[in-house]
Each structure stands twice: as C-alpha cells, then as structure tokens.
Amino acid sequence: MKAYVFPGQGAQFSGMGADLYESSAEAKELFERANEILGFSITETMFSGSAEDLKQTKVTQPAVFLHSVILSKVLGAEFKPDMVAGHSLGEFSALVANNTLEFEDALKLVAQRALAMQKACEITPSTMAAVLGLEDELVEAVCAEVDGTVVAANYNCPGQLVISGETSAVERACEELKERGAKRALMLPVGGAFHSPLMEPARKELAAAIEATNFKNPSCPIYQNVSTTAVTDPVEIQKNLVFQLTAPVKWTQSVQNMIKDGASSFTEVGPGKVLQGLVKKVDRKMETSSAAV
C-alpha cells in the first residue's frame, strides 16, 4: 500500500514551486488562483523572496501548502494514495490530496490558521525546543514538574520530541532534561508555542471556520495528528482538525499505525525530505521517496 505524507512549517525554501509554475499550465492556473484568494502575490515571495520573506507566518503556511497540493495535482494519474498523513500544517494538504477538502476551501483555512496562530503567539512570550535522546515518558514527566506551561508538542520519531510552552518554562525544562541525560535540548527559532494550550485563542478562532467548511467523504483514510489511526468519517476528521492546534502532533504513532495497517512505501509530497528521515527513524527498512514530476 502506498502512503503519501505532507510536510509542515519549516520545510519552505526560496524558489519553491517555481519549476512547477513554469512547467505546468495546471500548476500556473492554481498558483494564480491562490494569489487571488489570498489577496497578495504569494508566488512572488515563493519564487524570488528571501528566506526571511518566507518566514512570515502569513506566507510560510500557505506556501508549503501550495507547493504540496499543486505538486500532487500535477502528478496526475500516478498519484493514487492508499493512505495519507500530514505533519501539522501538512494535514490540510493531505485532506486536499484525499478529496476531503476542495483546494480553495483548504487554502482559505490555512491562511486563517496562519493569522490566528500569529495573533496567539503575540499574547504570551512562548517558544519550542527539540529534545533528543530521551524516552518520551521522561520528557513528559519533566514537563509536568516544571512551573508554568510546557508540554510535549511533536512526537517526531523515537528519541526526538519537541516541547512547547512559555519561554521561561521551556528554558527550565531544557536545563532539567539535559541533567536527566538528553543528548541535546535545543531552542527552536519559531514564533511561538505551537501545539500547546497557548494556542487556545487560535483554536477557538479557527474552529468556527472549520465547522463552516464542507468536508466530503475521503477517497482514502487519513492518519491524523490527534488520533494517529485511520479516519474516514468527515465529521471526525473535522473535529480532529479543530483540536490539532492545541494537541500534540503524534507523528511517530501515526507512522507506526500506517506501517501496521500495510504501508509498504512512503512518498513525501512537498518541499524538503524531513518526513522521509522521520519515517526511516521509525522503520529503517521502509522505502521512502520524494514526489517528482
């Protein structure tokens, strides 16, 4: 069975998508439609903007989404997923890929999500940190002991967990985790505490938009960050997408369940190769590749 996976924020790079725009009439049309929907020329920033330009939240999330979704559309008949999953933002790309969401609806939600998250980041000084080389349970226990808000946010692969919360609490947790034997506890250059309770204002804001959007029956199951198991019910998919902002990304568990359910290969659709590396950390024998036109 073929699994297709879609990257999240952080995978962007300067020049992303330009090759698709130039080589495919369908891609060009979708990019131009995206400019109209967003109300600014995202293609200009994607194709010729600097890394700093691409870091703007209102640009980053739609840019990664567009690269992934338009690439999947241009693949045409060879794009036949038996199952899909997306890392955080990538879940929206996956939901277009399995026909649960229309392109335009998903892009509007991604744009709203980016702005809602940016606003939530401005309320409390907050950040994230990558913790390497410890058992998940120990990281969770240390987070629970620290004063202030700090939680496990991204279960990326065995031995790699990202924590998220108030800046001071994350810093204290990092010190404690190093003392407990972490190989590294590294602060990440992000704008805020994604996938933590501090995203509650963004979750509330996005919930109304998600609930007002039409979710159709998918063409194949999606393994969502919140549930980690195969989901095909549009109502359940909708609920999981709402909770995703404040809940952890359980990527390790999602990949394990996809393999258990018969995934024989993983193809990453979009910028970068981060997810392929994480899949290999879960099962080093698993076949991985990047989608290419």
Out of 24, 68, 72, 88, the active site residue is: 88
Catalytic annotation on 87?
no
CB 67 within 8 A of CB 8: no
Catalytic annotation on 88?
yes
DSSP-H helix ranges across the chain = 18-23, 25-38, 42-48, 51-54, 57-74, 90-97, 103-121, 136-145, 167-179, 200-211, 234-243, 251-260, 274-282
Out of 24, 195, 196, 254, the active site residue is: 195
Q: How far apart are CA 244 and CA 91, in angstroms?
A: 9
Compute the radius of gyration of the chain from its Cα atoms.
18
Other Cβ atoms closer than 10 A to 180:
15
Strand order in the sheet with 160-166: 150-157, 160-166, 126-132, 184-187
* Dihedral, CA of residue 200, residue 210, residue 65 and residue 190, to nearest 10: -10
Catalytic residue list: 88, 195
